[in-house]
Structure 1
Amino acid sequence: MIRAALLIAALICDGFLSGASHAAEIKPTRVVTENGMTVLIVDQPFLPIVTVNVLVKAGAVYDPDAKAGLSNMVAEMLDEGTKTRSATQIAEQIEFLGGELAAEGGEDSATARLRILRKDADIGFTLLADILMHPKFDPKEVARVRDELVGSLQSEKDEPSIIATKAFNELVFKGHPYRRPANGDEKTVTKLSRQDLVEFHDKFYRPNRAIMAIVGDLREAEALALVKKHFGRWTPQELPLPAFPAPEPLPKPTLKLIDKDLTQATIVLGHVGIDRRNPDFYAVAVMNYILGGGGFSSRLVRRIRDEQGLAYDVGSVFEANVMPGSFAVHVQTRNAAANQVLASVFQELKRIRTEPVGDQELADAKAYLIGSFPLRLDTTAKLASLLNLVELHGLGLSYFDEYPKAIAAVTKEDVLRVAQKYLNPDHYALVVVAKLAEAKIDANVVSITK
């Protein structure tokens, strides 16, 4: 209990102290180990805690179609027992130390996370290395976790937003791995075997595919010594990777209507967007903040929520991944208002593509994006996660200094240019989940010929 109380107290303070430095003052050290693992270290001695994130390039994009959800299940199984420790032993040991140890899958990668007191760093690294390098995939645990994942997938059938997003991705990313949900579907997950998990882990969980971020109360030499001690025997393996086709823009507007007995219509509208390395990323971030990503200050919220009173939940987002993700507008409104909401969305898309944004809109967007940037770094956990992504996307160690400068440099002309380039109102997918007899989606309103 004392150990747990110490870590809880440290974590409470973590949000106040680890972000005390300005973003530009964060100077990561980057080392590539002999076995090919990239290690990023930020020494933050404010509190006696250490966060370690290990990102492995082993995401859902590598799942075969017939085994969608495989990478996610492998990640879910990492802390469910190793060759020397049962799932219960791992859970009890990390709980006794007052630490946290978990893993999760994603589209491009999987991540294992450790948070531990400085004095317990050695045993923390022991457990982290064990789950990454030596998962057992015990048949009983495999069956239990598979059943849990299938149960979760079944519950998603009642979630309109998930139904709409899945249908949207199938339209936008036809023929591309991003069309599949990272957690797969009932049909594929039910058939996943222990051998599937073992083979995927053996193939993709290698140090030369891993990015480790270490943030907290460890000096560089201490951190590297722990890495060498616990991960030095992890064997690398070169892997010929599949060449994924670039997501193709839709040739014409595409509409999918899903009839559900609901009082609210869930709407997703959009198309292929940009990847994270796109040089226009920062201008797109400012443009999207003004359009629908800026919460209550965005145009879509002001018009549809505040002025028209038609929706509480409305916004837009660019998912900038390793490969181009999606641009999407999300709205929930009452069924009878669906056509009016769609008309307003199209009008706002047209406006931001044809008219320069206002000086105050631009200033407010840039001020928010720059001002909120330190909040993405204000705990060791947030900073470690961002370090993983900076390395994954090849953004460089000067990113923490360059991000505010890049946002500040965006002009009205840039916003108009990227809106015209990356918003394509003639090549979009539109998904509506609603009681269609009430929503009565008008093909003329949405400029679609059925």
Structure 2
Amino acid sequence: MKKIFLISIIITIFLFSFSEVFKEKITKNVELLYNYVPENDISAVTVFIDGGSMNYDFEKSGIENLIFRLVEKCGKNYSESKMNELMDKYFVTVSFENSYDYSSFSFSTLNKYLFDVTKIFADNFREPDFSDEILKREKEKMIDEIKSKEEDPDELLYLKLNEYFFKNHPYIANPEGYVETVQNLKSADLYEHLKKIFSSRRVIISVVSGVPFKEAKKFFKKEFGFINGKVEMMKNLKDFNLCEGDTLLKYEKGGLQTKYLGCKFKVPSVNDKEYLPVRVGLSILSKRVYETLRTKHGLTYAAYVGASNKLSNYGVFYVSTLYPDSAMKLFKDEVEKVKKEGIKQEEIDDMKNLFQTSFFLNKERTSNRSFSLGYNYLIFNDYDYDLKFIKELEKLKSEKVTNAITKYLRDFKFILVE
């Protein structure tokens, strides 16, 4: 079984390393990345739009999520029933993500249906249907989902953390929206916003396919040529506006069988050179914290520490426990231990193996490769960034990780939901 797994990893590395990636300018603000993999039976396309929360004010939170939901559902030339029929006929899977730094819309199908399916979604973006009746139904679904999350203590914890940590920062505009902001979105808002981002934001279309590039090049230029604008410079993301020192805020939800404690703290941007050692260091700290809280003290079944992957970035600590005071103290004890004793090289080497395995397993799925190709190019201007990330991982030494993580393990902003 282990041999089969290793062979699978080797094949993935080979296909990913030696398949060809083509870059093509479609319009002033649209670029096509095309990874031709002859062995692939599946084609995947991801459309990235730069900006995320920088594209709208707090009052319009959720607008890009709502747009993508409706583009998946229908267009002026494709009714909801027709879309359902075609998605089944062409074996289509769809996913989308509305992040703080970008939005992405992905779909995959068999190679032989690549052009048919791409034409449908390009048409839905070109001539969307945001009519009042369809919009009302989708808004109701969104609001139900938002309310459901607010009832979940885990989700409530992160909402409260974000409210505090993102105050006076563009990230306060939650990409998933708030009940009040979604309620107030009008059809005209959606048409206007889609026109704005297509005319002023960088757009990346990332494709991984077994269809030769020379057969697809003219097609993609034709279908996405309607997106044609000039990329406007966005404001630089400012730093989080936080006081120094640790803080704790409490929220009483009531009726809970346990308590939920979390905190955020500043870490380097995902495109900063210190991000890699800090991310690895926090993953090692996470393992230590879990062993201390779960194995040694029996305080929880769920605890972790980690780094997010944002342009304005933060680290996270989370635990669900009946004894939050004890959990917080033990977390801080482990932080102090890192600062005094550092991170061991053997811990880093073990973490390297986990990162590498996760990386190559992720590359086995065509849809994941399409996403990472476009994400890397959008955020780092280098579609091979993650391969270079893995190579840099090999060079990591104990002193570098310890120095980097020690610099950022401070000013913890705790929230307790009980």
Normalised TM-score (structure 2): 0.92
- The answer to whether residue 291 in structure 2 is matched with residue 302 in structure 1 is yes
The residue identity in structure 1 corresponding to 2:352 is K
Partner of 1:324: 312
Residue 126 of structure 1: aligned partner: 119
- Distance in 2 (CA, whole Å) between partners of 1:83 and 1:151 is 26
Segments of 4+ moved more than 6 angstroms: 15-18
Tell whether 2:341 aligns with 1:355. Answer: yes
Following the alignment from structure 1 to structure 2, what is the Cα–Cα distance between the partners of residues 414 and 210? 36
**358-367 or 163-172, which moves further after superposition?**
358-367
Task: Note if 1:63 corresponds to 2:56.
Answer: yes
SS at match of 1:317: strand
RMSD over equivalenced CA pairs, Å: 2.1
Change (3 A) 1:35 1:133: farther
Provide the aligned length of Structure 1 versus Structure 2.
410
Tell me by how many angstroms 1:264 deviates: 0.9
Structure 1 residues 229 and 180: alpha-carbon distance in aligned structure 2, compared to 1, 3 A threshold:
closer
SS in 2 for 1:181: coil
Partner of 1:373: 359
Please give the secondary structure, in 2, of the residue aligned with 1:332: strand
- Distance verdict in 2 for CA 1:17–1:36, change over 3 Å: farther
Cα 1:142–1:17 change in 2 (3 A) is: farther
Paired residue for 2:129, among 136, 150, 153?
Answer: 136
SS in 2 for 1:144: helix
- Can you list the C-alpha shifts for 1:78-104, whole angstroms capped at 9, x where unaligned? 123222111221221121112224444
Distance change in 2, residues 1:55/1:397 (3 Å): closer
CA distance 1:272–1:227, shift in 2 (3 Å): same
- Structure 2 counterparts to residues 4-403 of structure 1, below 5 A: 19=12, 21=14, 24-25=17-18, 27-206=20-199, 209-239=202-232, 241-261=234-254, 262-292=256-286, 298-321=287-310, 323-334=311-322, 337-403=323-389
Could you tell me which residue of structure 1 aligns to residue 400 of structure 2? Answer: 414
List runs of 5+ in structure 1 lacking aligned partners: 1-14, 293-297, 435-450
Quote the Cα distance in structure 2 between the aligned partners of 1:230 and 1:207: 19
Give the drift of 1:203: 0.3
Residue type at the aligned position of 2:303: V
For normalisation by structure 1, the TM-score amounts to 0.86
* Superposition deviation, residue 240 in structure 1: 5.3
SS at match of 2:104: strand
List gaps (5 residues or longer) in structure 2: 1-7
Contact kept, 8 Å, 2:237 with 2:312, in 1: the verdict is no
Asked whether the 8 Å contact 1:50–1:121 carries over to 2, the reply is yes
Which of 428, 432, 449 is the matching residue for 2:416? 432
Q: Percent identity?
A: 20
Deviation by residue 1:203-230 (Cα, 9 ceiling, x = unmatched): 0134962111111212221231221121
Tell me the equivalent position of 2:5.
none
8 Å contact 1:273–1:320 — kept in the other structure? no
Q: Is 1:129–1:231's contact at 8 Å kept on the other side of the alignment?
A: yes
